[in-house]
A = this chain, B = another copy of it.
Amino acid sequence: METALADYLDDFTRRDWQTLDPDAVTDPVRIAVVGLGWFAREWALPGIARSAYTEATVVTDVDADAVEAVAADHDVTGVTPEELRSGAVADEYDAVYVATPNATHLEYVTAAAEQGKAVLCEKPLESTFDRAERLVAACEDAGVPLMVGYRMQTDPAVRRLKDLIEAGVVGDVVHVHATMSQTMLGELSTDTDQWRLDPELSGGNALMDIGIYPLNTTRFVLAAEPEQVYGTTRTEHEAFAGVDEHASYRLTFPGGVEAMCSVSQNAQHASRLDVTGTEGRVILDPAFYEREDRGFAVVRGGTRVDVEFEQVHQVEEEFAYFGHHLLADEPFYPDGEHALGDMRALDAIYESADTGLPVDLT
């Protein structure tokens, strides 16, 4: 027993998907980074650099100053969005990472697909379900692999949580609570001239930007698809006019298992996923933000274990998985079809918020 515990702890942060030795990689996947917002600068570029399977070679953004500064800092090629889309430097990259405003994903992904490049696209996949479907179709038509940037899915804490559920450690899942909130105007930036506040560019705010985390992570760890959603959105402050500032939603999974979720762009920072089953309970708290460590607890009967582990760089793990699977010629799990499941559910939650009624997804 004690040896089994030691093995469990030793293997906690293992990459269960890794078959290629990272030290043997001589030609990492060369990535063009499209969109140089704070996440790309602070998290994606460092993640790409840390991962043995990837390297950034090209960057672009609508902000020419940002391109110039980042290109110089990282010693990579800076191009205009037009140059990127036209394939002017297509021989300098193998894959394209798209981290632009939601409603511009389609144009960049379509261009990359036409160039025959593999794509890692940020989530939500696009601003509407229809545009997201077109994005997925563009990759399918071109025969290029598409991964979607669900960084939670390659986080070892999330994978271990899923493993525990799959192994029956919590028994049958009874219900899930998930919450994620931040003060978007304050914690990250005080700039109200943001694309996330523009419904045309974002497709929505609290639900689209952070609601997707409880939604997608619950789908992932339960390995199940919601059959019905019911939700509400709410906007109180002028800065959020036209988009949702707060949202709550319930996801009903097969067998009537319900996930009770809430998100806010204007509340005290919180981040928690709590899965309760007939025989145990697993908790991630903090859960969802790249900028915080994950907390991991398992409860069964009267015993609770809090696992403290060497935290990974979450975005390094995501890019390592992306690069690894391209080099190994293996399919991605969080692919376009998977991402369309979120777009469908998000659309339905907005519809439910409009009508005040539950919306069936099946």
- Contact between B250 and A248 (Cβ–Cβ < 8 Å)? yes
Find residues 313-362 in chain A having any chain B CB closer than 8 Å to their own CB.
356-358
A279 and chain B: residue at smallest CB distance? B268
- Contact between A268 and B262 (Cβ–Cβ < 8 Å)? no
Find residues 242-287 in chain A having any chain B CB closer than 8 Å to their own CB.
246, 248, 250, 252, 255-256, 258, 260-262, 264, 266-270, 272, 274, 276-281
Q: How many copies does the complex hold?
A: 2
- Contact between B248 and A258 (Cβ–Cβ < 8 Å)? yes
Q: How far is the CA of A135 from the CA of B261 in the complex (A)?
A: 37
Q: How far is the CA of A279 from the CA of B269 in the complex (A)?
A: 9
Given contacts A232-B256, A276-B268, A276-B270, contact A177 B175 (CB under 8 A): no
**A181 located at the interface, meaning its Cβ lies under 8 Å from any Cβ of chain B in the complex:** yes
- Contact between B248 and A266 (Cβ–Cβ < 8 Å)? no
Chain A interface size, as a band, is 35 or more
Interface of A is mostly: strand
- Contact between B357 and A268 (Cβ–Cβ < 8 Å)? no
Q: How far is the CA of A267 from the CA of B279 in the complex (A)?
A: 6
- Contact between B250 and A268 (Cβ–Cβ < 8 Å)? no
**A230 located at the interface, meaning its Cβ lies under 8 Å from any Cβ of chain B in the complex:** yes
Residue in A232, A262, A281 with the greatest tally of chain B CB atoms within 10 Å: A262
**A300 located at the interface, meaning its Cβ lies under 8 Å from any Cβ of chain B in the complex:** yes
- Contact between A177 and B280 (Cβ–Cβ < 8 Å)? no
In the complex, chain B residues whose CB is within 8 Å of the CB of A246? 174-175, 256
Given contacts A177-B260, A258-B248, contact A278 B299 (CB under 8 A): no
Find residues 163-177 in chain A having any chain B CB closer than 8 Å to their own CB.
170-172, 174-175, 177
A256 to chain B, nearest CB (A): 4
- Contact between A175 and B276 (Cβ–Cβ < 8 Å)? no
- Contact between A260 and B248 (Cβ–Cβ < 8 Å)? yes
**A179 located at the interface, meaning its Cβ lies under 8 Å from any Cβ of chain B in the complex:** yes
- Contact between A299 and B248 (Cβ–Cβ < 8 Å)? no
**A14 located at the interface, meaning its Cβ lies under 8 Å from any Cβ of chain B in the complex:** no
A178 and chain B: residue at smallest CB distance? B177
- Contact between B232 and A262 (Cβ–Cβ < 8 Å)? no
A-B contact pairs, 10 of them (CB 8 A): A175-B264, A177-B262, A248-B250, A267-B281, A268-B276, A268-B278, A268-B300, A268-B301, A269-B301, A272-B274
Taking Cβ atoms with an 8 Å cutoff, the residues of A that contact B are: 170-172, 174-175, 177, 179, 181, 183, 230, 232, 234, 236, 246, 248, 250, 252, 255-256, 258, 260-262, 264, 266-270, 272, 274, 276-281, 299-302, 356-358
